[in-house]
Homo-oligomer: A and B are copies of this chain.
């Protein structure tokens, strides 16, 4: 089969790789119907994190189950399934606590997981899925083609935006600021609207993203950043800031922006992969009682909650995809996202 392999910064290739083979009894092989490129894929693509040897890449996909191991009982051949951006057993204590990203057995696509099983990268024609019963969620029936992009967001961006909102304590009547206008930030706006927030500010300088944020429920747009951005937020919220701030970027600057945009006693929910800002100013947090909570989003635990609304058409997170390419043009997909020509690129075989 063929799959995306990253060789070095700015060097992603669509090339021949070994066909996946069932091996653990609990695994499944999924034929990928759609995959996509994540903002976090851009870290190795840009060389921010080093690629020491060629490596399978991609961690968001939906598809059809082609084969299952002898021990698999929850999913069956022919099912349309959504995979989270990691594999997990959904039976260990961390999965049961709602944090399947800390599954004691699971791991990440494109590498060996904690149980020692290799999981293919998600940007490929097929993926071997360890812990298939835990990892995969089947839809009740085969979805229409129009639903595919929306369903695909449940693999990562919609669940991650939802996690930012949940971690920040978003709920009815709350005021919300979303830092970051990438696909996750936009999904965080949608999640905040869905959770009943009263006012939602999207911080964005790009017109197309501002428009989508507004469609997703943003009540206000702030284009300023840094001190000016903080001043604008304070001016909107009693001079002190918002109840909930959703940090969806992952830089030192964006976290600083987030912390200063929250009112005393407010909460920052963060899902941006920390990159360049690994430390938090504890004295500032102490003085203001601004809490910080979040991290790698347990999207598998959210799929059952979000899926019915996607299937009914009331939740349309797939609008974040603004470019679609054949999987064979995966290199162009990375390039388009790197150059911000696209918010998020969907790939079909």
| Residues 65 to 103 of chain A near chain B (Cβ within 8 Å) | 93-94, 97-99, 101-102
A267/B280 in contact, CB under 8 A: no
Give this chain's copy count: 2
Given contacts A102-B289, A279-B281, contact A265 B97 (CB under 8 A): yes
B281/A278 in contact, CB under 8 A: yes
A98 CA to B298 CA, complexed, in Å: 30
A278 CA to B286 CA, complexed, in Å: 9
Question: Which residues of B lie under 8 Å from residue A98 when comparing CB positions?
Answer: 265
A222 interfacial contact with B, CB 8 Å: no
A18 interfacial contact with B, CB 8 Å: no
For A167, the closest partner residue in chain B by CB is: B291
B279/A289 in contact, CB under 8 A: no
A344 interfacial contact with B, CB 8 Å: no
| Residues 216 to 245 of chain A near chain B (Cβ within 8 Å) | 238-240
A280/B282 in contact, CB under 8 A: yes
A182 interfacial contact with B, CB 8 Å: no
The prevalent SS among residues of A at the interface is: mixed
Question: Which residues of B lie under 8 Å from residue A278 when comparing CB positions?
Answer: 281-283
A255 interfacial contact with B, CB 8 Å: yes
Of A50-58, A203-211, A269-277, A317-325, which stretch is located at the interface?
A269-277
A94/B279 in contact, CB under 8 A: no
B277/A279 in contact, CB under 8 A: no
B286/A294 in contact, CB under 8 A: yes
A99 CA to B287 CA, complexed, in Å: 11
B274/A282 in contact, CB under 8 A: yes
B283/A294 in contact, CB under 8 A: no
A292/B295 in contact, CB under 8 A: no
Given contacts A282-B278, A286-B273, contact A240 B291 (CB under 8 A): no
Question: Which residues of B lie under 8 Å from residue A311 when comparing CB positions?
Answer: none
A342 interfacial contact with B, CB 8 Å: no
A128 interfacial contact with B, CB 8 Å: no
* Least distance between A209 CB and chain B CB atoms (Å): 24
A291/B289 in contact, CB under 8 A: no
A285 CA to B277 CA, complexed, in Å: 12
A296 interfacial contact with B, CB 8 Å: yes
A264/B97 in contact, CB under 8 A: yes
B292/A293 in contact, CB under 8 A: yes
A274 CA to B288 CA, complexed, in Å: 13
For A279, the closest partner residue in chain B by CB is: B279
A263 interfacial contact with B, CB 8 Å: yes
Question: Which residues of B lie under 8 Å from residue A263 when comparing CB positions?
Answer: 93-94, 97
Can you show 9 pairs from A to B with CB atoms below 8 A apart? A93-B263, A94-B265, A102-B240, A102-B289, A267-B293, A278-B283, A279-B281, A287-B296, A292-B292
* Other A-B pairs beyond A94-B240, A286-B295, A291-B291, 17, CB < 8 Å: A93-B239, A94-B263, A94-B264, A97-B264, A98-B265, A99-B264, A102-B264, A255-B282, A267-B293, A278-B281, A279-B279, A279-B280, A279-B281, A280-B282, A289-B298, A292-B293, A293-B293
Q: Which residues of A contact B (CB under 8 A)?
A: 93-94, 97-99, 101-102, 167, 238-240, 255, 263-265, 267, 270, 273-274, 277-283, 285-296, 298
